[in-house]
């Protein structure tokens, strides 16, 4: 298990070398070092996972360094490896290694490559520290470390104002969650006297039913702590209310979206709930809240995903929605199913993002799907990879037999929600079914808009730019950034609002504008092909380990396992087993009808829905709401506190008032001021003399 | 090492160099000042190496009776040691920061700085209460001169404000000290720390000291001198002001108010919490709307110092150690941030944020270090800012969950104003040709920010180096405070059915 040291610290070392070496080191060296490090980490991680899979490994902890010991509070740097960690290890290192490789192609025109690769490796290190944490504070270290890397990568194209804004938004919104996480850690320490995860989990059941004072009222202890910690999870995993940063995070380069905002970082919240599952189990209220928030998120994000035009934003909302599934699975006690979905989702969502990146790459940084169309003949490998990803996310498969990755994990979640028998479980089940319908719709909509129909490229500014500029390829990388400004907000785009006045799909003719999309280079296709394998087989191959009667042997206590839930899952009625498949087919048909068969249909539906459509299209107005109730008041209060309070009151009646009094008593204010120093020294001297004399006299 | 008056030597070296600087030309004054501060840094390292962790509470003691009770008594414990280390570490950086930017009256400038160093160290080593008072108050005089002579356009007003605020507090404190010496019959700080004053009297004594320390800290609402002073002070003046002088208030609390008046401290704890909560929220929001870089960082200092005060008045080891670490970290980080501002101020001669932008393009190294210090200020784990903040907030949580909640919002607001600053200065496109033409860090600047950066990471990754020397002192203080400790608001109550052994474990945990 000493390999874990290499797995975790090699990416850090690579990040430091590539980051500090930067231009002196050169692009190729920096890329080779970071990518090489990640492939080594990946190669060392799989054997660990397979050992746990085969039941040959035991949980272990490798101490690294003392960190803090203050009174009774101690926490050290240490690397914990158990089944849960092993699952995360392979997810993180595999996706990260593939994303590193993919970026060789995707970022090849970028002048600032070493910095990009250094950030990617730094992110991987922080994520690995998070999942190997043996105490809550180290988890928080990783938690904040991935936040930093995410901030840097979202703001990678820092010249773009929108990238800078999105980076800050991601960090600050996450910090709202961190407030909960930190208070949760404090509460845990207060109650258990330790921040060591195994010790807390051991003692947690004994705390069930106890009460604690918090903010002037009395609550159930474990409910308070779990909810506080869950607020942290909500921030990192973009759950409803704290999700607003995730769509904006698409400002970052697409490989970043695949690694951080789909496969790994955003799943940290799910990981945390699973890691602390014995704690959550002690509070029914907290579990219900987790399930409820997850269910609402999966529904909410799916609705928004149905309306967006930006290919990356559709996938971003889809990620948000899928994270909702994982949370409600955890909330009904099906932690194995939650982790299973996390595992399969990492592969197919990274695939979808990297596939989208390949499309964007071939379409000269155009991200608006209204300007796509008919691409399947031009970029066939990307098309097949995206199709594999879509088959996986929509859960295509035959109940009781086999299917793509998402089929196994999503169905397990829905069956568990239904099988749990609780009210919130039932709510989550129906929300999940509704979301599955929409998932199928928006995923196929994406495929149809992008790969089918006639090309609609000519109206894209990016494409026009590319055609005009066909020979000046050298300064593209530079131009693209300025150009991307158009893509950051759908409203600012050449295509006007709401799609209703967008390009008319029924207008045919040669829409290519003379542009010829090219398939991406091999370094980009290879990761797509490998991830496609994951999207196709990961569900079928690993279902027995993650969700079955034998699950307990796989997890070995790394998370709470309810055998009765497994039985309940098997015992659900047949209609429940077939419901996901039915809605999937329904979604596929609707998307086919609206985006292949009858192109005027979506517009008519949008017009019919009117304000509801607008509300959903504007992402349920969360950004507008938060700007009104948080951002603008913060600045307003800042000004008031500064100008009215500090200057208007404190200074006026404090030093300025005193100055006024003094100046009144003296004809020459100047003299008074310059004379102060000496009088001050004098006062002090007199004071000391007086003091001493008094002491002598006394 | 015993018997060698190392503390006196540390006071003497800068003092002698200060005198020499008065009579030297600019060039030699710079060299003398740098050498003297480096010698003091070396002496500080010797001091640290020889400090016996876990040994006697007071070490390196020197004592010379002067007249009737008043004595030249020096000595340090772990708390003082750490603050001395902070002072001697920052001083050479201050001299380096002033190397080119100060052109007029260099000899006097360096003399003033060296005098500040002597007086700062004096504050931390004094074991006689009147000696402490002299150092404590006299330290303001050279600082006042630095702002008043080498400061910006509005320096007279700033130095006057600075002085006026501190005057009131120091007079009250002196009166209280006189009373204490009269009553206890000793001027020795260690003896006074173990003297039990009548709780009724403690109230008044505590308030008198509070008047002085709250201003020095500075606590809201007596903080308005700080932004004015920082904005006008030269870069090195800001570094030392934020780095060390602000720590004198915290040192005062931990050395005087808490151990000498435990009952009064407990009695007034809610007051301190209230002011700290107000400071975190109000000054953070003010920082958000600043257009002047130095003012922004000055306001952020007030918010950070509030984390120190809640830690001090949390009445548990986490709070106390946390607040010490926040002080040390803030000394490094805010010093470094002021230095970062100074570096670009030297090039463009403006502190206005809007005049910069896109510095990541032409100053990538600068962007890297500025990022590091920004993250440390935000309290990112792995940097020095985190450990102290975490322990302080964790400490106060055990006493009051409301206070913890309100003060923890500082992590959100802090991220907002610091990243907003970073975005406007470093991110974005190059809007101004003159800002775009600025050159990256030179060797001198790289050494200064590099040293600070390493210290910030060291304290973040392995803070044990800094906690170990003070652990015993904090434990002693905690024990002394135990009798007055206010009960927390958690009041954990176990549920009906539970195994007996786990109840026992839980009760252990609650303390």
- Asked whether the beta carbons of B43 and B13 are under 8 A apart, the reply is yes
Q: Is B167 on the interface with A (CB under 8 A)?
A: yes
Residue B126 β-bridge partners: B74
In the structure, what pLDDT confidence band is assigned to residue B83 with cuts at 50, 70 and 90?
A: very high
Q: How far apart are CA A618 and CA B177, in angstroms?
A: 65
Cross-chain CB nearest to B508 (options A193, A650, A677)? A193
Q: At residue A291, does pLDDT exceed 70?
A: yes
Which carries the bigger pLDDT value, residue A247 or residue A489? Answer: A247
Q: How far apart are CA A24 and CA A29, in angstroms?
A: 10
3-state DSSP call for residue A669? Answer: helix
Averaged over B235-252, what is the pLDDT?
A: 90
Averaged over A20-34, what is the pLDDT?
A: 90
The pTM score is 0.90
In the structure, what pLDDT confidence band is assigned to residue A618 with cuts at 50, 70 and 90?
A: confident
Average pLDDT, chain B: 88
Give how far Cα A694 sits from Cα of A689, B23, B173, Å: 8, 39, 16
- B492 chain-A contacts, CB cut-off 8 A: 190-191, 210-212, 221
Q: What is the ipTM of this complex?
A: 0.91
Averaged over A562-585, what is the pLDDT?
A: 88
Which carries the bigger pLDDT value, residue B463 or residue B3? Answer: B463
Averaged over A95-120, what is the pLDDT?
A: 92
Please answer yes or no on whether A650 and B508 come within 8 Å at the CB atom.
no
Tell me the DSSP string of A99-122: HHHHHHHHTTT-TTHHHHHHHHHH
Q: How far apart are CA B96 and CA A255, in angstroms?
A: 43
Cross-chain CB nearest to A179 (options B375, B408, B499)? B408
Averaged over B364-383, what is the pLDDT?
A: 94
Model pLDDT, residue A507: 45
Model pLDDT, residue A550: 76
Q: At residue B360, does pLDDT exceed 60?
A: yes
For residue A123, the surrounding DSSP H or E stretch is helix A113-131
pLDDT tens digits for range B104-151: 888 888 999 999 999 999 999 999 998 998 888 888 788 878 887 887
Of B268, B156, B295, B157, the residue nearest B214 (C-alpha): B268
Cross-chain CB nearest to B463 (options A68, A183, A194)? A68
Tell me the DSSP string of A163-217: HHHHHHHHHHHHHHHHHHHHHHHHHHHHHHS--BHHHHHHHHHHHTT-EEEETTE
Q: Is A26 on the interface with B (CB under 8 A)?
A: no
| Window A:171-200, CB contacts with B under 8 Å | 171-172, 175-176, 178-179, 182-183, 185-187, 189-194
In the structure, what pLDDT confidence band is assigned to residue B64 with cuts at 50, 70 and 90?
A: confident
For residue B103, the surrounding DSSP H or E stretch is none
Q: How far apart are CA A42 and CA A27, in angstroms?
A: 22
Tokens at B67, concatenated: 């007249």
Helix ranges, A251-334 (H): 254-258, 268-275, 277-280, 284-305, 311-331
Q: How far apart are CA A262 and CA A260, in angstroms?
A: 6
Tokens at B426, concatenated: 């470093």
Q: At residue A549, does pLDDT exceed 90?
A: no
Q: How far apart are CA B494 and CA B489, in angstroms?
A: 15
Model pLDDT, residue A498: 34
pLDDT tens digits for range B423-477: 999 998 888 888 888 888 899 999 999 999 999 999 999 999 999 999 999 999 9
Q: Which residue of B has its CA nearest to A213?
A: B490
Q: At residue B174, does pLDDT exceed 60?
A: yes
Q: Which range, A177-191, A553-567, B162-176, has the best average confidence (pLDDT)?
A: A177-191
Instruction: Provide, for chain B, the percentages of residues in helix, strand and coil under a 3-state DSSP scheme, each rounded to the nearest 5.
Output: 75, 5, 20
- Asked whether the beta carbons of A92 and A44 are under 8 A apart, the reply is no
Find where tokens 């802090």 sit: B414
Please answer yes or no on whether B404 and A148 come within 8 Å at the CB atom.
no
- B375 chain-A contacts, CB cut-off 8 A: 148
Model pLDDT, residue B394: 93
What Rg, from alpha-carbon coordinates, does chain A have? 28
Q: At residue A502, does pLDDT exceed 50?
A: no
Q: Comparing A146-155, A176-185, A607-616, which segment has the lowest mean pLDDT? A: A607-616
**B208-217 core/surface letters (b: 16 or more CB in 10 A; e: else):** bbbbbbbbbb
pLDDT tens digits for range A624-650: 899 888 889 888 988 888 888 888 788
Q: At residue A381, does pLDDT exceed 90?
A: yes
pLDDT tens digits for range A654-664: 777 766 666 66
Percent of chain A with pLDDT over 90: 54
Q: At residue B499, does pLDDT exceed 80?
A: no
In the structure, what pLDDT confidence band is assigned to residue B500 with cuts at 50, 70 and 90?
A: very low
Q: How far apart are CA A276 and CA A136, in angstroms?
A: 10
Q: At residue A4, does pLDDT exceed 70?
A: yes
Cross-chain CB nearest to A673 (options B130, B160, B398)? B160
Find where tokens 């542009």 sit: A515
- B419 chain-A contacts, CB cut-off 8 A: 151, 167-168, 171-172
Which carries the bigger pLDDT value, residue A367 or residue A400? Answer: A367
pLDDT tens digits for range A238-290: 999 999 999 999 999 999 999 999 889 999 999 999 999 999 999 999 999 99
Q: Which residue of A has its CA nearest to B221?
A: A650
Q: Is B286 on the interface with A (CB under 8 A)?
A: yes
- Asked whether the beta carbons of B393 and B480 are under 8 A apart, the reply is no
Helix ranges, A571-645 (H): 574-592, 601-609, 611-617, 622-626, 632-639
Averaged over A176-186, what is the pLDDT?
A: 95
Please answer yes or no on whether B428 and A634 come within 8 Å at the CB atom.
no
Averaged over A306-318, what is the pLDDT?
A: 93
- B467 chain-A contacts, CB cut-off 8 A: 68-70
Averaged over B340-345, what is the pLDDT?
A: 92
Q: How far apart are CA B205 and CA B53, in angstroms?
A: 32
Q: At residue A525, does pLDDT exceed 80?
A: yes
Model pLDDT, residue A343: 93
Model pLDDT, residue A493: 40
Model pLDDT, residue B65: 82
Residue B317 β-bridge partners: none
Model pLDDT, residue A500: 40
In the structure, what pLDDT confidence band is assigned to residue A440 with cuts at 50, 70 and 90?
A: very high
Of A543, A561, A558, A560, the residue nearest A81 (C-alpha): A558
Phi, psi of B188 (to 5 degrees): -75, 125
């Amino acid at each position: 298990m000493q390999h874990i040291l290499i797995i975790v610290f090699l990416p850090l070392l690579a990040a430091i070398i590539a980051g500090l070496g930067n231009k002196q080191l050169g692009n190729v060296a920096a890329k080779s070092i970071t990518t090489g490090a990640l492939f080594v980490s990946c190669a060392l991680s799989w054997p660990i996972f397979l050992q746990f899979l085969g039941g040959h490994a035991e949980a272990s902890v490798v101490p690294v360094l003392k960190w803090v010991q203050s009174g009774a509070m101690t926490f050290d740097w240490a690397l914990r490896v158990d089944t849960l960690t092993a699952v995360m290890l392979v997810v993180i290192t595999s996706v990260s290694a593939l994303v590193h490789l993919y970026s060789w192609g995707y970022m090849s025109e970028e002048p600032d490559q070493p910095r990009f690769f250094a950030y990617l490796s730094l992110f991987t290190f922080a994520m690995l520290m998070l999942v190997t944490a043996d105490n809550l504070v180290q988890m928080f270290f990783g938690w904040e470390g991935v936040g930093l890397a995410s901030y840097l990568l979202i703001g990678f194209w820092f010249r773009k104002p929108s990238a800078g804004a999105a980076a800050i938004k991601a960090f600050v919104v996450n910090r709202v969650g961190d407030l909960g996480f930190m208070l949760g850690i404090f509460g845990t320490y207060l109650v258990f006297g330790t921040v060591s995860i195994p010790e807390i989990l051991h003692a947690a059941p004994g705390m069930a039913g106890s009460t604690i004072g918090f903010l002037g009222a009395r609550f159930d202890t474990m409910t308070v702590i779990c909810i506080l910690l869950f607020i942290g999870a909500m921030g990192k995993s973009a759950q409803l209310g704290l999700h607003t940063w995730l769509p904006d995070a698409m400002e970052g380069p697409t490989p970043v979206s695949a690694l951080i905002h789909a496969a790994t970082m955003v799943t940290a919240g799910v990981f945390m709930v699973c890691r602390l599952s014995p704690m959550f189990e002690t509070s029914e209220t907290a579990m219900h809240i987790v399930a409820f928030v997850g269910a609402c998120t999966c529904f909410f994000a799916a609705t928004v995903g149905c309306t967006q035009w930006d290919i990356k934003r559709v996938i971003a909302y889809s990620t948000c929605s899928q994270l909702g599934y994982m949370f409600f699975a955890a909330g009904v006690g099906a932690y194995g199913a939650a982790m299973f979905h996390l595992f399969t989702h990492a592969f197919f969502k990274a695939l979808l993002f990297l596939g989208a990146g390949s499309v964007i790459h071939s379409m000269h940084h155009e991200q608006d799907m209204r300007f796509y169309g008919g691409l399947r003949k031009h970029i066939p490998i990307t098309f097949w990879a995206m199709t594999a990803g879509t088959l996986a996310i929509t859960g295509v498969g035959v109940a009781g037999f086999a299917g793509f990755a998402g089929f196994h994990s999503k169905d397990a979640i829905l069956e568990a929600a239904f099988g749990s028998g609780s009210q919130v479980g039932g709510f989550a089940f129906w929300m999940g079914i509704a979301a599955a319908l929409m998932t199928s719709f928006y995923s196929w909509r994406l495929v149809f808009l992008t790969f089918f129909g006639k090309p609609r490229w000519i109206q894209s500014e990016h494409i026009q730019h590319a055609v005009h500029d066909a020979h000046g390829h050298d300064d593209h990388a530079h131009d693209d950034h300025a150009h991307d400004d158009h893509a950051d907000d759908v409203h600012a785009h050449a295509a006007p609002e709401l799609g209703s006045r967008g390009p008319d799909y029924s207008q045919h003719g040669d829409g290519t504008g003379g542009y010829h999309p090219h398939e991406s280079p091999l370094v980009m296709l290879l990761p797509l092909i490998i991830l496609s394998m994951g999207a196709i087989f990961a569900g079928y191959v690993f279902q027995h380990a993650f969700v079955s009667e034998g699950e307990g042997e796989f997890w070995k206590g790394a998370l709470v396992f309810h055998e009765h839930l497994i039985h309940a899952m098997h015992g659900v009625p047949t209609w429940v087993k077939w419901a996901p498949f039915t809605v999937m087919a329904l979604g596929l048909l609707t998307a086919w009808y609206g985006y292949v068969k009858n192109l005027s249909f979506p517009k008519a539906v949008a017009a019919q829905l009117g304000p509801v459509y607008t509300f959903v299209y504007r992402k349920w107005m969360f950004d507008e709401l938060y700007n009104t109730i948080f951002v603008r008041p913060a600045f307003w209060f800042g000004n008031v506190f500064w100008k009215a309070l500090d200057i208007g009151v404190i200074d006026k009646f404090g030093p300025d008032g005193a100055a006024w009094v003094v100046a009144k008593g003296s004809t020459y204010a100047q003299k008074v001021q310059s004379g102060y120093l000496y009088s001050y020294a004098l006062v002090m001297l007199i004071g000391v003399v007086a003091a001493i004399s008094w002491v002598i006299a006394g | 090492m015993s018997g060698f008056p190392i503390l006196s030597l540390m006071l003497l070296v800068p003092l002698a160099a200060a005198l020499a600087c008065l009579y030297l030309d600019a060039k030699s004054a710079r060299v003398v000042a740098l050498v003297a501060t480096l010698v003091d840094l070396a002496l500080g390292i010797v001091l640290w190496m020889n400090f016996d962790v876990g040994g006697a509470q007071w070490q390196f003691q020197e004592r010379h009776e002067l007249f009737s009770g008043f004595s030249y008594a020096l000595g340090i414990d772990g708390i003082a040691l750490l603050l001395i280390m902070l002072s001697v570490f920052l001083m050479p950086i201050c001299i380096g920061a002033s190397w080119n930017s100060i052109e007029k009256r260099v000899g006097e400038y360096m003399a003033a700085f060296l005098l500040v160093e002597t007086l700062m160290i004096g504050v931390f080593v004094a074991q006689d209460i009147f000696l402490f008072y002299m150092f404590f108050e006299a330290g303001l005089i050279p600082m006042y001169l630095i702002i008043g002579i080498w400061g910006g356009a509005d320096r007279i007003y700033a130095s006057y404000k600075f002085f006026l605020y501190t005057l009131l507090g120091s007079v009250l404190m002196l009166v209280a000290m006189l009373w204490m010496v009269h009553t206890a019959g000793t001027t020795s700080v260690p003896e006074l720390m173990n003297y039990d004053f009548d709780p009724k009297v403690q109230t008044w004594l505590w308030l008198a000291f509070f008047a002085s320390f709250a201003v020095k800290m500075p606590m809201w609402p007596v903080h308005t001198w700080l932004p004015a002073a920082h904005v006008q002070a030269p870069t090195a003046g800001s570094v030392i002001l934020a780095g060390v002088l602000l720590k004198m208030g915290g040192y005062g609390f931990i050395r005087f108010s808490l151990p000498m008046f435990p009952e009064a401290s407990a009695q007034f704890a809610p007051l301190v919490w209230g002011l700290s909560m107000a400071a975190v929220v109000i000054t953070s929001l003010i920082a958000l709307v600043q257009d002047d870089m130095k003012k922004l960082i000055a306001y952020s200092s007030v918010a950070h110092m509030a984390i120190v005060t809640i830690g001090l008045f949390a009445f548990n080891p986490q709070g106390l150690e946390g607040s010490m670490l926040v002080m040390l970290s803030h000394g490094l980080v805010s010093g470094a941030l002021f230095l970062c501002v100074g570096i670009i101020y030297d090039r463009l001669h403006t502190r206005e944020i809007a005049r910069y932008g896109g510095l990541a393009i032409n100053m990538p190294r600068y962007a890297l270090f500025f990022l590091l210090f920004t993250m440390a200020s935000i309290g990112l784990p792995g940097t020095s800012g985190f450990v102290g903040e975490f322990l302080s907030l964790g400490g106060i949580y055990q006493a009051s969950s409301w206070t913890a909640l309100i003060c923890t919002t500082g992590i959100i607001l802090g991220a907002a104003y610091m990243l907003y600053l970073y975005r406007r200065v470093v991110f974005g496109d190059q809007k101004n040709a003159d800002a775009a033409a600025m050159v990256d860090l030179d060797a001198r600047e790289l050494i200064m920010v590099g040293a600070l950066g390493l210290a910030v990471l060291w304290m973040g990754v392995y803070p044990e180096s800094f906690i170990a020397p003070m652990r015993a002192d904090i434990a002693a203080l905690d024990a002394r405070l135990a009798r007055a400790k206010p009960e927390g608001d958690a009041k954990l109550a176990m549920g009906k059915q539970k195994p007996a052994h786990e109840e026992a474990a839980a009760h252990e945990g609650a303390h």
